[in-house]
Amino acid sequence: MSDRLEDKIKQFVIENFLYGEPEETLTEELSFLDSGIMDSSRVLELILYIEETFDIKVEDDELTPANLDSVKAVAAYVRSKTGVLA
């Protein structure tokens, strides 16, 4: 598995929300909400994953589509909170 942040997030989504569907199904820009990948309970799972994996606290005012609606958005959000570049 890659150490690239986007790849880690993508792998989590595939394993937990797409149940192993082909990786090509999920592009880094694909909207989780528009595609039906996410609902409210899955958003909570994603937040828990982010907090546990990257040791950050997702604040209430950060629960926005801009931060959580795609692999690319989640990776950018995590980078902004941690300073991780990979």
Here the CATH number for the domain that contains residue 12 is 1.10.1200.10
User: If you average pLDDT over every residue of the chain, what do you get?
Assistant: 90
User: What is the arithmetic mean of pLDDT over 46-70?
Assistant: 95
Output the pLDDT for position 1. Answer: 44
Host domain of residue 15: 5-82
Show the tokens assigned to 82.
């941690």
The residues near 58 (Cβ < 8 Å, ≥ 6 apart) are: 47, 50, 51
Greatest CA span in the chain, whole angstroms? 33
Percent of the chain's residues with pLDDT above 70: 92
Output the pLDDT for position 2. Answer: 55
Residue 69 CA, distance from chain mean position = 7
Residue 70 CA, distance from chain mean position = 6
CA atoms of 12 and 18, how far apart (whole Å): 9
> What type of residue sits at position 17?
F
Q: How many domains does the chain have?
A: 1
- 3-state class of 13 per DSSP? helix
Give pLDDT tens digits for 19-55: 877 767 789 999 999 999 998 889 999 999 999 999 9
